[in-house]
Structure 1
C-alpha cells in the first residue's frame, strides 16, 4: 500500500492511530491536525511511530527557533532577497506548485559571506511554507487534494570555485537537513536540468542527508537543453513554462531570460560581506574560552516545571555551535557527553560573532539544563564566548535584551575566572 490517505494497510492504519495518541498532548501546536498531515510524517519515517513522534516533537522546537508563525511577514535582508535564488512559479499539469532554483547561478561563496546562517535558514523555511501555501491554494482551486510540489534545479554554471568552498558546502547541508526535518514528503519530484559533468560530485555531498524516499524522487534529465525543455513541456503547460526553459511565458518586463522572475546570475559585492564585530552584552555576563576541537557546558538547575530558561551570548571573531540539553538533578556536576543527555534545543552553528544571539525555552520538567557551546568542528581556533543564562519562574517578566549595554564586552574580561568556575568542560 502507498501509505497515502485512502490507501493504507492494516499495519499503516494502526501506526496512524498510535501516532495520534502519542502526540495528542501537543497536537494544537502543529500546522494541521488531520490524517493527511500525520501520514506525511509517517511516510518519511517508513511508518516507524517512535521515530515519527520524535521528528514531530523536534519540529515543534524548530517552529519556535525559525519563527514559523511570523516568518512569512519577515522582511529578509537585501542580500538574500537579491542574490539567494529559489522562487515559486506556475503549476504542473497535475496541479502541483513548481519551485525553481537556479543553483548554478547562485553565488554561494558570496551569499554565505554576506548573510548570517540564521537568516539564510529562515529564508529557506519561508520558501517551504510558501510551497505549503501554494499546495493549499491549489487544493481549494481544483477541489481535490494537492499535497506535493515539484522542484526544478537548474545546474547551469555549477563550478567548484563558486559552490564547493567549505562554508558553501556547510550551507547546503544545513538547508537540506532543515528541509528534510520540517517539510517531509511534500516533494512529488526533483528534476535536475542542464546537468554538468561535476553534478555527481555535488550530489554525493548532499545524498547522505536525504532520506531514502527523497533520493528516489531526484531525477536528472541528461542531454542537451532542448531535451530538458521537451521534458519540462510535458510536465508544465507551455503558457506557464518560462520562455528561458522552452515555454512561452514572459514576465511583464519582457525579459525572456526571466531573471526578474527566477533571479539571475550575479556576484554578491564584497562591500556586502559581513564583518566580525564584538557584540556588546550585559555587564552581568560570564565568559568562557572554548578550545579548538572541544566543548564547554553551563549547568543550570530548574526546580519548577513550566519555568522558562533564557539565554543570550556573543562570540568573538567566529561562530560557535549551541544547544540545550537536560539531565536528572542527581547528575548535577557529572560530566556527560551530549548523547547521554536529552536534547531540548538541537545543536546548530550560530553567527554570534556578528549578532547577539538570544532565545528561550519552557522547561517542561525540573532537573539540570545544560547550555552547551560546541567548537569541535574547528581544528585551529579557540572561541571566546560571553554569555548570560537566566531561569524565569512562571509569571516573571521577560528579561531586557543585554544588547542595550554598550561597554559590557570590555567589562567581561575581568570575570573570566568566575566564569570558569560555573562552566563544566565536556570531554
Structure 2
C-alpha cells in the first residue's frame, strides 16, 4: 500500500467511525461532545454579532453550524456582519457545487489514481498547540502530469475530499480526547520549485481557485504555515497569489531560514529526523515515508486530456 492510500484509508476510517459514534451516543454523551466541540463564547460583543449574523442568514444556516462555527466567519471578516454574510453565502455555493454535504460524498469521490499514486503530500505528527501537521511539496508536483490526467474540477474535488475528511478526523479526536482540535498546521517545503511549471496558466488558475475556496469554506481552520527552502520563485508566486489570501492567512505564513527553526513550533518527537526532529516511521525511515510521500511523475497511461 502506498503512502497516500494509507493516509486516505485512515481518514476514511475516521469518517466512518465518527458517523457510527454519533449514531450510538446517548443524549448525555452528545451534550458532553457539544461542550467540547462548541465551547462557550464569553465575549458579549462577539455573541451579539453572532446573533445578528444568524438573524441575517435565517434558514440558510446549516443545521450543524453552531455559534462557534459562525464565529469563524466573523473573525475572518473582522467582525463585519455584512461581510460575514457574503462569505457564508459563498461557502454554501461552493459546498453545493462540489456536493460536500451529500451523504455519499466521501465514498463517491475517493482519490483518483493520478492523485493517489503521484501527488506529494503528508500528514505526520502535531505541533506544540496540538494541531495535526500537513506536509506540502509544491516543487515536487508534476504540473504537466496532473494537467493531462485530471480536470481542474476533479483536482479541486480531491483537495476538498482531503480537507473534509481531515475535519472529520479532528472532530473524532476531539470527542475521544476531550479536548478541542479544530485546525491544522502546514509545513510547506519549496525545494525544487520550478519557474516553468509554477507559471503555467492552468496551474495558476487552479491554485488560485483552491485558495479562494480555502478562504471561503475553511475560515479560521488553518494554523501556522511554516515555509522552508524559499527561493526567488516563491517571492514571485507569493505576489501573484497574494490578492487571493485573507489578511489572517498572510499573518500565519512564516518563512523559516533553516529547518532548525521548526523546533520552535514542533516538539522533536513529532518532527521527522530529516527536518531536524527525532521522529521515524515504523520502518525506521528518517523521512517518515509511511506518512509523507514526495510524489512522483504521473504515469502517462493516466493521461486523458
TM range (shorter): 0.7 to 0.9
Instruction: Sort the Cα spacing of 1:192 and 1:261 in 2 relative to 1 into closer, same or farther, 3 A.
Output: same
- Aligned to 2:205, which of 164, 167, 170? 170
- Aligned to 1:145, which of 180, 196, 219? 180
- Aligned to 1:248, which of 272, 278, 296? 278
> Which residue does the alignment assign to 1:88?
123
User: Which residues in structure 2 correspond to 1:352-363 (within 5 Å)?
Assistant: none
Instruction: Show CA shifts across 1:229-249 (max 9, x none).
Output: x22233223222223222232
User: Which residues in structure 2 correspond to 1:56-67 (within 5 Å)?
Assistant: 56-67=88-99
Structure 1 residue 63, shift from structure 2 partner: 1.6
1:220 has 2:250 as partner: no
1:238 has 2:268 as partner: yes
Structure 1 residue 5, shift from structure 2 partner: 6.2
With normalisation by structure 1, the TM-score equals: 0.57
> Which residue does the alignment assign to 1:51?
83
1:266 has 2:301 as partner: no
1:23 has 2:26 as partner: no
1:209 has 2:241 as partner: no
Matched residue count: 264
In structure 1, distance between residues paired with 2:149 and 2:167: 28
In structure 2, distance between residues paired with 1:200 and 1:42: 30
Structure 1 residue 260, shift from structure 2 partner: 4.6
In structure 2, distance between residues paired with 1:23 and 1:63: 16
Unmatched 5+ stretches in structure 2? 1-38
SS at match of 2:269: coil
- Aligned to 2:68, which of 29, 33, 36? 36
User: Which residues in structure 2 correspond to 1:185-196 (within 5 Å)?
Assistant: 185-196=220-231
CA contact (8 A) 1:109 1:167 kept: no
> Which residue does the alignment assign to 2:113?
78
In structure 2, distance between residues paired with 1:160 and 1:5: 48
Structure 1 residue 142, shift from structure 2 partner: 4.1
The structure where strand makes up a greater share of residues is: 1
The structure where helix makes up a greater share of residues is: 2
SS at match of 1:216: helix
CA contact (8 A) 1:101 1:152 kept: yes
CA contact (8 A) 1:41 1:184 kept: yes
Instruction: Sort the Cα spacing of 1:248 and 1:202 in 2 relative to 1 into closer, same or farther, 3 A.
Output: same
> Which residue does the alignment assign to 1:342?
none
In structure 2, distance between residues paired with 1:134 and 1:178: 20
Instruction: Show CA shifts across 1:340-382 (max 9, x none).
Output: xxxxxxxxxxxxxxxxxxxxxxxxxxxxxxxxxxxxxxxxxxx
Instruction: Sort the Cα spacing of 1:72 and 1:86 in 2 relative to 1 into closer, same or farther, 3 A.
Output: farther
How big is the alpha-carbon RMSD for the aligned residues of Structure 1 and Structure 2? 2.2
Of residues 69-78 and 88-97 in structure 1, the stretch that sits farther from structure 2 once superposed is 69-78
- Aligned to 1:113, which of 142, 148, 156? 148
Structure 1 residue 89, shift from structure 2 partner: 2.1
CA contact (8 A) 1:139 1:145 kept: yes
Unmatched 5+ stretches in structure 1? 276-427
CA contact (8 A) 2:123 2:133 kept: yes
In structure 1, distance between residues paired with 2:186 and 2:56: 33
In structure 1, distance between residues paired with 2:156 and 2:40: 31
Structure 1 residue 25, shift from structure 2 partner: 0.9
> Which residue does the alignment assign to 1:8?
43
Structure 1 residue 82, shift from structure 2 partner: 1.5
Structure 1 residue 254, shift from structure 2 partner: 4.3
More contact order relative to length (CA 8 Å, sep ≥ 6): 2
With normalisation by structure 2, the TM-score equals: 0.79
